Amino acid sequence: MSAGAPGTGETVAGEAAVPRHVAIIMDGNGRWAKRKGLPRVAGHREGAEAVRRTLKAAVEAGVECLTLYAFSSENWRRSEEEVTDLKGLMRFYLERELEELAREGVKLRFIGEPSAFGPDLWERLQLAAAKTADNDKLILNVALNYGSQQELARAAQILAQEVADGVITPEDISVEKMGEVLQTAELPPLDLLIRTSGEVRLSNFLLWQSAYAELIFLDLLWPDFDKEAFNEALSQFAGRQRRFGGR
Ligand code: FPP
């Protein structure tokens, strides 16, 4: 495949490039609801509709993997009511969308520690992942109870244990080795990271993986995100020259 062709994740001047792996920090649900005088849960509900639209746009564009930050390790600090609403919405979304996701060839997987959501939701998530495991059109990777620092600390523990067990030596620990013990090990390298709502920070999301990703910060609130906004981000990506530290 030539550089710049869809799916290479590389951008070359004058050629359209489609990122292989796009990650999104879906921010602004609460502000969207507040502006409309609605409860926060209405913003999350509308946010779930934006997820549907974005997934469709990503499949159409030929993106291989879409990672969505749905619940961070820090989101437990929100009110019990909001956490319950978010869990309920995930359950509802899974029930309503699973058949279609399976039919459309979407492979669902998760990063983070979703078992903390309790056995009921955890079981449903695992079943959904199993049902879609053989699909290969697009990987929908949902970050649930995810924190990048926690993921990195866990990776360090795994490697430390391998050293303690004599499986590897400290010198064997390399960038590649680290990549192998992260939860994203089976995914394509991250090409593009988008954050909505005008905030300009990574908020403990994919810190290692975004080392060479292109970053796009949009003023749009997540519930207003649509196919047009997604395609606009893709064309900004295509216009960037990626040098990966070279010249
Ligand atoms: C950030 O907005 C959004 C979240 C913490 C939750 C994201 C959840 C969804 C989009 C819905 C469910 C997801 C799936 C995958 C079905 P915020 O509440 O921090 O907004 P604010 O900063 O304006 O308060």
CA distance 7 to 196: 24
Q: Is the CB of 70 under 6 A from ligand 1?
A: yes
Averaged over successive runs of 10 residues, the pLDDT of the chain (247 residues) comes to 47 69 98 98 98 97 98 97 97 95 97 97 97 98 98 98 98 98 98 98 98 98 98 97 86
Q: Is the CB of 66 under 6 A from ligand 1?
A: no
| Residue 16 forms part of a structural domain | no
| Residue 145 forms part of a structural domain | yes
Q: Residue 132 maps to which CATH number?
A: 3.40.1180.10
Q: What spacing in Å lies between the alpha carbon of 27 and ligand 1's midpoint?
A: 6
Q: Is the CB of 89 under 6 A from ligand 1?
A: yes
| Residue 3 forms part of a structural domain | no
Range of the domain at 105: 21-238
Q: What spacing in Å lies between the alpha carbon of 4 and ligand 1's midpoint?
A: 33
| Residue 79 forms part of a structural domain | yes
Alpha helices, DSSP H, located in the chain: 29-35, 40-61, 80-103, 119-131, 148-164, 175-181, 227-238
| Residue 244 forms part of a structural domain | no
Domain count, the chain: 1
Please report the pLDDT score of residue 2 as a whole number. Answer: 35
Q: Is the CB of 90 under 6 A from ligand 1?
A: yes
Q: What spacing in Å lies between the alpha carbon of 13 and ligand 1's midpoint?
A: 35
| Residue 76 forms part of a structural domain | yes
| Residue 223 forms part of a structural domain | yes
Please report the pLDDT score of residue 146 as a whole number. Answer: 98
CA distance 230 to 119: 34
